[in-house]
Structure 1
Amino acid sequence: MRCLYCHNPDTWALHGGTAVTADEVIEEFKKNRSFYSNGGITVSGGEPLLQIDFLLELFQRARDENIHTCIDTSGITFSGADNAYREKLDRLMELTDLVMLDIKHIDPERHRELTEHSNENVLAFAKYLEEKQVPIWVRHVVVEGYTDDEKSLFALGQFIGSLKNLRALDVLPYHTLGVSKYKELGIPYKLEGLAPMSQTKANEAKKIILSGIYSVRKSKNG
């Protein structure tokens, strides 16, 4: 999934990079463990769930070493109909302490405009995580003219407010720190000229999302 404001176009290629083993990752973590407080291993990307077999091995090793595990994902790879995938995902979630879930837009068509994909898999993955009782930390990037309308922000709040496993919410302002990577890679940046969003506006967006969360939880509590 290549969203319009992706700041990591250098991770799009499925080939290349440096191959490492699960044991090498664990050993690297252990070398620096004395510098960590409550941290652990977070896998991100690109899309980490594209490497689910490796994650199963890595997270099992982490569990053996009592290391906290987190997946930073868009959830786009989720497939409820693929039994083989679901079996692996079920096993992985048993080894996962936290999922950071990036929900780019609550509206399926606006989500498609941003990413070329519907958000159907993303929202289904969120409900799956609730079913599996895996804690989630939702992240949402606010982009002026794309993800900042009040109706959608409120609806996003209502959706995530209905999830019993919601533990945290980050509402992040759009920035242009990744634009230079596009130029270096010779890739056109589709949001060229769009100014970064201020933290103040992002905070206002968060208030709207929170109001959606509160509205759902208030109605549930009678």
Structure 2
Amino acid sequence: MHSIETGGTVDGPGIRYVAFLQGCPLRCLYCHNPDSWQMRTGKTMTSSQLLEDVLRYKPFIKSGGVTLSGGEPLTQPEFVEHFFTNAREHGLHTALDTSGAIPLNKSRSALDAADLILLDIKALDPQLCRDLTGMDNQHALEMLEYLEASGKPVWIRHVVVPGYTDDMEQLEALAYYLKDFSVIQRVELLPFHQMATYKWKALGLKYALKDTPVPSKELMERAAEPFIRLGLMDSL
């Protein structure tokens, strides 16, 4: 376990208990939790121990639920599946925040156990995705196809990074790609930020985006245009 937030409001509907799991195969240039990359460096908990802690907050999250995030929670798929199965038995809404980087043959059962998937599409273009994260987007797109076939509700997330993912042609292509998926309930465009700069420095890691500006309000509004036009977003 990397960390826990007991009053999250941005990782799924309502007020949520958010557990950030340790471990991630990606090396995103804009990662805000680079200290979550390595496995076996956080606090060890069983799924039953985590659920016991979550249930302490049930009166406060009853209109929201619980979200597993990371890192990449699907690096621990058996834990995710077991935890979600038990959480749902207690009437808790469950959401999984994932990059889609883990192949379906390892992640399918965990996906099936969740009520909602928050899927982060890093980039539609495979080479741009490799440049940003160290991996292409094959597994993420296969995951979205699987979620469509299984009827699992999905929220799509996409980080707008100036100089990388703010190209309007790429944004148009992503919007057109997403528009025919019936399971997508929401698309969120998230502005790149510099709040994790100190973590990269503390870990002795080279931060390639230290001079990258945060996107302006005008840039974000422009980025949202194709998604609004195609009915994927009501507004930014």
TM-score by length of 2: 0.83
Alignment partner of 1:141: what SS? Answer: strand
Gaps of 5+ in 1: 216-222
Give, as a single letter, the amino acid of the residue that structure 2 aligns with 1:28. D
RMSD: 1.5
Give, as a single letter, the amino acid of the residue that structure 2 aligns with 1:150. M
Does 1:208 pair with 2:233? no
Work out whether residues 176 and 196 of structure 1, in 8 Å CA contact, stay in contact via their aligned partners in 2: yes
Q: 1:72 maps to which residue?
A: 97
Q: Counterparts of 2:47 and 2:62 in 1: how far apart (Å)? A: 22
Q: Counterparts of 1:214 and 1:71 in 2: how far apart (Å)? A: 24
Q: Counterparts of 2:29 and 2:228 in 1: how far apart (Å)? A: 25
Does 1:11 pair with 2:1? no
Q: 2:213 maps to which residue?
A: 195
1:63 to 76, 85, 88: 88
Work out whether residues 194 and 210 of structure 2, in 8 Å CA contact, stay in contact via their aligned partners in 1: no
> Which moves more between the two structures, 13-22 or 32-41?
32-41
Q: Counterparts of 1:101 and 1:138 in 2: how far apart (Å)? A: 5
Give, as a single letter, the amino acid of the residue that structure 2 aligns with 1:111. C
1:92 to 107, 110, 115: 110
Work out whether residues 75 and 122 of structure 1, in 8 Å CA contact, stay in contact via their aligned partners in 2: yes
Q: Following superposition of structure 1 onto structure 2, how do residues 72-151 of structure 1 map, counting pairs within 5 Å?
A: 72-79=97-104, 82=105, 85=106, 89-151=107-169
Give, as a single letter, the amino acid of the residue that structure 1 aligns with 2:43. T
Q: Counterparts of 2:221 and 2:103 in 1: how far apart (Å)? A: 30
Give, as a single letter, the amino acid of the residue that structure 2 aligns with 1:186. G
Q: Counterparts of 2:152 and 2:120 in 1: how far apart (Å)? A: 15
Alignment partner of 1:205: what SS? Answer: helix
Gaps of 5+ in 2: 1-25
Q: 1:40 maps to which residue?
A: 65
Deviation per residue, 1:63-122 (Å, 9 max, x gap): 21111110000001124xx4xx3xxx4433332110000001111111111112111111
Which structure shows the higher helix fraction?
Answer: 1
Give, as a single letter, the amino acid of the residue that structure 2 aligns with 1:116. G
> Which moves more between the two structures, 202-211 or 25-34?
202-211
Q: Counterparts of 1:90 and 1:114 in 2: how far apart (Å)? A: 25
- TM-aligned CA distance change 1:32 to 1:197, over 3 Å: same
- CA deviation after TM superposition for structure 1 residue 209, in Å: 2.8
Q: Counterparts of 2:118 and 2:87 in 1: how far apart (Å)? A: 18
Alignment partner of 2:114: what SS? Answer: coil
- CA deviation after TM superposition for structure 1 residue 214, in Å: 4.3
Percent identity reads 37
**Bigger Rg over Cα:** 1
Deviation per residue, 1:107-153 (Å, 9 max, x gap): 11111111121111111111111111110000111011100111110
Higher relative contact order at CA 8 Å, sep ≥6: structure 1 or structure 2?
1
Q: Counterparts of 1:209 and 1:102 in 2: how far apart (Å)? A: 15
Give, as a single letter, the amino acid of the residue that structure 2 aligns with 1:192. K
Which structure shows the higher strand fraction?
Answer: 2
